[in-house]
Amino acid sequence: MKSAYKKSSVAQYRFFCLVFCCFTSLAQAALPPDFQNEKDLADIIAYIKSDHEVLSDLRVIDLAELAVYYGDSCRIQFARKVVKREAGWVGPEEPIEFKAKDCVDDVAEIDEIPVPKDKVRGGVVVSVEADDIACYLQIKGDAGKVHDELASYDLCEDESLLNKPSEFIYQRTSVPAASCGENPECEDTEMVWLIAEIK
């Protein structure tokens, strides 16, 4: 009887250890991209709520670049905390933290802000369309994916840009805010990345 009880206890202990190890491995595993983005976004929003200046004039949250744009030419940059880990360690990425806040006053300095990584740099323009805000280009990227990008008005008038390999140069520019709709008297603006030149 005692022997059976002892074997049962050992089996339960082994099962407990197995379950504990499984949960420990899951806890240390890297988060899927959607959960990681949700976590980063929550940290960024928490910061924005704590800064009235940013909250009252917020323009864009760029999750890919971990940056927030507000006002006409201001940016807040976040970065991941640097923590030394043992070789082979696999786990969630470190949380993000405030790195810098800067505002630029002229176009030359604005152009120095890095272009977001998700912007297509090379491809073929397959169609153009203009509205009250900007010129819209449909671009088939070098990898075959189709992108919709804003461009300056003069590019919509150049039909020679269609259906040939091109390189796209971006510029961060102020345009009427989407909230203005078709109201010509609306003075709200927002900062966007648009294609300023095609080579």
pLDDT along the chain (199 residues), means of 10: 47 47 45 82 93 90 90 86 70 82 59 76 91 82 89 86 92 76 75 87
Query: What span, in angstroms and rounded, lies between the C-alpha atoms of 49 and 28?
Result: 30
pLDDT confidence of residue 12 = 53
The DSSP H or E segment spanning 9 is helix 2-28
42 vs 149: CA distance, rounded Å: 27
Output the pLDDT for position 153.
84
Q: Which amino acid is at 98?
A: F
pLDDT at 134: 72
Question: Do 131 and 102 fall within a single domain?
Answer: no
50 occurs within a structural domain: yes
Residue 8 Rama label (left phi>0; alpha psi -120 to 50; beta): alpha
Tell me if 62 is assigned to some domain.
Answer: yes
Q: In the prediction, which pLDDT does 64 show?
A: 85
Please give the Cα distance from 83 to 9 (Å, whole number): 41
When divided into structural domains, the chain yields a total of: 2
| Residue 14 confidence (pLDDT) | 54
Model confidence pLDDT, tens digit, residues 85-110: 676 666 677 889 888 887 765 444 44
Other CB atoms closer than 10 Å to residue 24's CB: what's the count?
10
CA distance 182 to 176: 10
Among 110, 144, 163, residue at a domain's last position: 110
Look up the domain containing 140 and give its range. Answer: 122-198
> Are 106 and 130 part of one and the same domain?
no
User: Which pLDDT score is estimated for 19?
Assistant: 43
Q: What is the pLDDT of residue 72?
A: 80
